[in-house]
Amino acid sequence: MPNYSEEIKAIAQANSLEALEAFIQQQREADPDYSLPFRGLFRAAADWNADKIAVYCLEHGQPVFDGVMTGVVVNESFAVYRVLIERKAVDINYYVPWYGDILGTFAFSGKIDWVGFCLEHGADPNRNVISDGLRPLACAAGTGNMEMVDLMLEYGARLEGSYALVEAALFGHMEIVKHLLAMGADIDEVGIEGPPGDEGYQYMGSPLHHAATHGLTEIALYLIDAGANVRLMDPMGRTAEDLALKNNHTEILDALRRKMNPVEK
């Protein structure tokens, strides 16, 4: 839990320098040696999106620390984050423990205003992964937000190894699937599940594997027609046919079997 008093919390909620100065004066009247708890104040500023208080902390020499960035992420404190970046108090690619960088974290939650700000200020869409092992482009594709996907690509996000097509297929975003394939995505790319070194192999697979598992018939049929490898095995040794059969997705199963065993004319 954040370590600051109710008085500090109230100051941050009001985002008031006047209230802060009055508080300091009151404390020093009682104790001339009173020292303002800047770490707690800075964290409160992040928690309550108090940009004026954040500026005060920076101007008094308080550096950014993980707790501040966690507060920014958890509370979506955009005004504070803007201050931190514009004053060069924190690297745009700063990796927030348990979350990832700001770009990937807010791409995952579909916040295009955050994504645009990060990219415009130099965030590298290929540098970091978020806690689920995904790169920002894959996070954007998973939301189904075409504008965000194109913004990532415009700022240099690499398709290869991004797992963006896998995420788009997994969440049923047909238009994103078509778009990424047109941009050159690998139709048989096998995605990741979990951070590198701790992958959940039972959940990994190609776009077609996921479509067959979850009964995404339109996407599965499109991928089959587009040339997806219907005999490809996932990391557990299962084909799309196995997955469709296991989950009783008969239309997909029939299409896969027709592709594997075409009737000669």
Among residues 175, 208, 239, which one ends one of the domains? 175
Handedness of CA 100, 104, 107, 113 (dihedral sign): positive
Assess if residue 158 is contained within a domain.
Answer: yes
Confidence of residue 129 (pLDDT cuts 50, 70, 90): confident
Measure the CA–CA gap between 231 and 206, rounded to whole angstroms. 11
Assess if residue 181 is contained within a domain.
Answer: no
Tell me what pLDDT residue 196 has: 60
Assess if residue 239 is contained within a domain.
Answer: yes
Using one digit for the tens of pLDDT, what is the confidence trace for 212-260?
999 999 999 999 999 999 999 999 999 999 999 999 999 999 999 999 9
Assess if residue 46 is contained within a domain.
Answer: yes
Backbone angles phi and psi of 258, in degrees to 5: -65, -40
Domain limits for position 154: 92-175
Measure the CA–CA gap between 53 and 59, rounded to whole angstroms. 10
74 with 101, same domain: the answer is: no
Among residues 111, 146, 175, which one ends one of the domains? 175
Assess if residue 36 is contained within a domain.
Answer: yes
Confidence of residue 131 (pLDDT cuts 50, 70, 90): low
Number of folded domains in the chain?
A: 3
Q: What is the mean pLDDT of the chain?
A: 94
**Length of the chain (residues):** 265
Measure the CA–CA gap between 98 and 58, rounded to whole angstroms. 25
Q: CB neighbours (10 Å) of residue 153?
A: 19
Using one digit for the tens of pLDDT, what is the confidence trace for 61-83?
999 999 999 999 999 999 999 99
pTM here? Answer: 0.88
